[in-house]
Structure 1
C-alpha cells in the first residue's frame, strides 16, 4: 500500500471506484456493443459467421497476450502512464474498426483493441490495493464490480440502437468517443498511486524472475483459476447470446436486453453483498458461499434443461443467480491473489487476467461453437467450467488452510 495514499485521493471513495470501473468498462463495451450487429456487419462486408467469430477471438487473444505486460509495465513506470497509453491505443483501434472495409481489416483492429483494453482492467486492481488496506480494498473492489456491471447491460442496448438507426460503423465511432472521454477523465483525475520506492526495475531478467516467481506458485495459479474460469460459466451465455436467445428462447432482438439486465443485476447484487460482508466474515467463508450458490444453481440449470424445453421465463434466471454467486466471491479471491506478492501487484494482476482471458478466448473460439446448438449442453459446459474453479479452490483450502482464514479489521 502507498504510504501517502490518503494524500492522493481526497474525493469520496465511491468516486475513485467509479473512475476505475469506467476503465474496466472498456472491455465489456468493446464486446457487447457490436454483438447485436454481428449479422449486419457480416452482410455488409461479405463475411461468414465463422469469420465474424474471429473478430471476437482476435480481441480476446490480444487481450490475453498483452495482459502479460500491462501490470509489469505499471510496476516499473507507474500506473498512470500505462492507463493513458492503453486508452490512446484503444481509441486509435476503434477508429480503424469504424473505417474497416474488409473482414481482415476488422479482425486486425479488433485484435489491436484487445491488446489495449486490458490496461484499464489490470492496472485498476493494482491501484485499489495501492490505495486501501484489505477490508477497504474489498469494499472498493465490490463497488467497482457494481459500477462495472452496468456496462454489459447498457452496451448491447446502445449497440443495437446505433446499428438500427445509424449503421454498424457508428458503433465503433461511439467507442472512439468513449475512448477520448475516458482518456481526458483519467488524464485529469487519475493519481499516480505507485510509490516511487515500490517501483521495480524494468529489464528482461527482472521481468522473467517475476513471471517465474508467480507462474511457478501453485497457490497463485489455483487462486487465479478459482476466480477466472468460473466467470465463463455465465460468459458462455453472452458469447452464445444470438443463438441462445434468438434460436432457443425465440426472443426478438429487441428483447435480448432482458438477458443482460437479469445477469448484470445478479453481478451487481453479489458485488454489493460482498462489500457489505467485507471485514465481518472470514474471506474463506465468503468464497465458500459464492461457490455453493454457483454449484447449486448450475446443477439445477442442467436438470431443468434436460427435463424441460427451454423457455425464456425460467431459463434466464439461473444465469442471473450464477452471476450473483460469482461476484460474491471474486473480489475476495482477487485480493488474495494480489497479496501473495505485495511487491509485484501489477504483475500478479496481469497474470491473473491472462489466465482468465485465455480461458475466455478458448470458450469463445472452441467451446461456445461446440455447445451453442443445445441449451442442455450450454448448461453442462457452464457447470464444468464452474467445477474447474471449485476444484482449484478446494485444493487451496486443504493445502494452505491459513489462506483467507481471518476477517480483516474493517475501517
Structure 2
C-alpha cells in the first residue's frame, strides 16, 4: 500500500476525516483519562526520581553531574527510539505498540530496584527511555486518529490539564516514598503506576483500522520517516517547538539543582517550584480548550510565543531585582517563582496546538510525524538535563537568561514558518 507524499503546505492536510468514532462525538472520560495517564508516564519517570538524587549519590558516590545523567540518558534513549515508535504504530496499530512498550517499561522500572551501582542504574534508565515513548508518543496520535479540528484541540487541552498535574505530583510522591525507605521505593512506586496505565491501555479501543496501516517492512518504515523528515515545514515547526518549550523545561531539567542548591530547600520541598509551574500549565491548557471554537490555531500559537517572550523578560527582571532566597519557605521565594509560572502558562498556549499542526501535515503518516515532531524536543530536553543544566545553574539569573534565549530562537523559527506559509499562500493565489 502506498501513501502520497505530503506537501510542504500545511493546508494540504485539509482536515482528513478522523478514523474511528465520528468527529462530532465528545471524548469520553475514560479515554481522556487513559490518554492523559499515558502522557503522565514521562513526568513521573523523570520528576519522581529528583528527591532521591541525594540518597542515590550518597550510596554510589556519584556527583551532581553523574546524577543528572539519570535524566539525560533516559531522555536521549527516549528520543532515539521515538523515531521508530510512530512508524511502527502506523504498521502494527497503536494499541499493540503501546502495550509492548509499557510491558518493557514496567520490567525496567522494577529492575531498577535491584541496581547495585550507577552503571546498572543508568543502563536500566536507558531501557526505560527506549520503551516509554511507545506509550507517550503514540498516545498523541490516537487523539488525531479519533478526532479532528476543534474537537481534537479540546481533547488535547483536557489531556494537558490532567497531564500538568504529573510534574508537581511526581516529586511530592517521590518525597513521600522516601519516607518508606531508601531510593528504591521510588522506582517501585513508578513501576506500580506503569501497571495501572497498562491495564487502562488494554481497555482502550484500537484507533487505527487494519486497512489504513502501512506494510510492516523496513523500507516502508524508513520511507515514511524520509517523507516526513524531508519536509522543511515540519522541520521549522518541530524546531520551533523544541526551543520554545525549552524555556519552560529548563526549570524542570535543572530542578534538583535549583531547589536544593539555589533555593536552599530540602528533598520534600520540590513542590515549591513545581506547583507554580503546574498551575501555569493547567491555566494555559484551559485557555487552549476554550479557544478551540473562537480562535484560529496558528493565531493562538503565535500568542503563546509572544507571551512566553514577555514572561521570560519579566522573569529575568524579577530575578535580578529580588533579594536572594533565604533558604527557607518564606516570601523571598515569591519573586523568583512568578516568572516560571507565567512562562508555563504561555508555553502551554502553543505546545498542544502545535502538536496538531505537525500531525495535520501528514494525515496518512501521523505516527511518523508524531515521532519526528517529538524527536527534536526530546533531544533538546536531554541536552538540557545532562549537559546544559549543570552549566547554567550558577545562579537564578543565568537560568533566566538561558530561558529567554531559548524562546527567542523558538519564536523566530515560528515566525519563519508563518512567513513561509504566507509566501506559499500568495503563490497559490497568484
TM-score per shorter chain, which class? over 0.9
Query: What is the CA distance between 1:403 and its match in structure 2?
Result: 9.3
Query: What is the CA distance between 1:119 and its match in structure 2?
Result: 1.4
The alignment status of 1:292 with 2:313, answered yes or no, reads: no
CA distance in structure 2 between the partners assigned to 1:283 and 1:171 by the alignment: 39
Superposition map of 1:205-244 within 5 A: 205-244=219-258
Alignment-derived partner of residue 354 in structure 2:
333
Residue 12 and residue 400 in structure 1: after superposition, are their counterparts in 2 closer, same or farther (change >3 A)?
Answer: closer
C-alpha contact 1:2 1:193 (8 A) present in aligned 2: no
SS at match of 2:180: helix
The alignment status of 1:145 with 2:166, answered yes or no, reads: no
Alignment-derived partner of residue 4 in structure 1:
20
Query: What is the CA distance between 1:20 and its match in structure 2?
Result: 0.2
CA distance in structure 2 between the partners assigned to 1:162 and 1:89 by the alignment: 23
CA distance in structure 2 between the partners assigned to 1:185 and 1:343 by the alignment: 27
CA distance in structure 2 between the partners assigned to 1:402 and 1:312 by the alignment: 47
C-alpha contact 1:5 1:130 (8 A) present in aligned 2: no
Query: What is the CA distance between 1:11 and its match in structure 2?
Result: 8.6
Superposition map of 1:321-360 within 5 A: 321-360=342-381
1:305-341 CA deviation, whole Å, 9 max, x = no partner? 2344444111111111101111111121111100101
CA distance in structure 1 between the partners assigned to 2:270 and 2:63 by the alignment: 23
- State the TM-score, normalizing by the size of structure 2: 0.90
C-alpha contact 1:33 1:157 (8 A) present in aligned 2: yes
- State the TM-score, normalizing by the size of structure 1: 0.94
Residue 254 and residue 403 in structure 1: after superposition, are their counterparts in 2 closer, same or farther (change >3 A)?
Answer: farther
Match of 1:90 among 81, 105, 111: 105
C-alpha contact 2:260 2:266 (8 A) present in aligned 1: yes
1:230-259 CA deviation, whole Å, 9 max, x = no partner? 222121112222322222223343332121
Residue 12 and residue 138 in structure 1: after superposition, are their counterparts in 2 closer, same or farther (change >3 A)?
Answer: closer
Alignment-derived partner of residue 130 in structure 1:
145
CA distance in structure 2 between the partners assigned to 1:285 and 1:402 by the alignment: 17
Alignment-derived partner of residue 99 in structure 1:
114
CA distance in structure 2 between the partners assigned to 1:126 and 1:305 by the alignment: 39
SS at match of 1:231: helix
Match of 1:33 among 35, 42, 48: 48
Query: What is the CA distance between 1:174 and its match in structure 2?
Result: 0.9
CA distance in structure 1 between the partners assigned to 2:233 and 2:419 by the alignment: 11
5+ long unaligned stretches in structure 2: 1-16, 325-331, 426-430
Alignment-derived partner of residue 329 in structure 2:
none
C-alpha contact 2:242 2:410 (8 A) present in aligned 1: yes
Residue 306 and residue 403 in structure 1: after superposition, are their counterparts in 2 closer, same or farther (change >3 A)?
Answer: farther
Alignment-derived partner of residue 172 in structure 2:
157
C-alpha contact 2:392 2:398 (8 A) present in aligned 1: yes
Query: What is the CA distance between 1:81 and its match in structure 2?
Result: 0.3
CA distance in structure 2 between the partners assigned to 1:56 and 1:230 by the alignment: 20
C-alpha contact 1:20 1:120 (8 A) present in aligned 2: no
CA distance in structure 1 between the partners assigned to 2:293 and 2:349 by the alignment: 14
Query: What is the CA distance between 1:25 and its match in structure 2?
Result: 0.8
Alignment-derived partner of residue 12 in structure 2:
none
1:328-367 CA deviation, whole Å, 9 max, x = no partner? 1112111110010100001100111111100111111221
5+ long unaligned stretches in structure 1: 405-411
CA distance in structure 1 between the partners assigned to 2:424 and 2:257 by the alignment: 41
CA distance in structure 2 between the partners assigned to 1:205 and 1:119 by the alignment: 20
**How many residues were matched structurally?**
402
Q: For structure 1, which segment, 140-149 or 117-126, has the greater mean C-alpha deviation from structure 2 after superposition?
A: 117-126
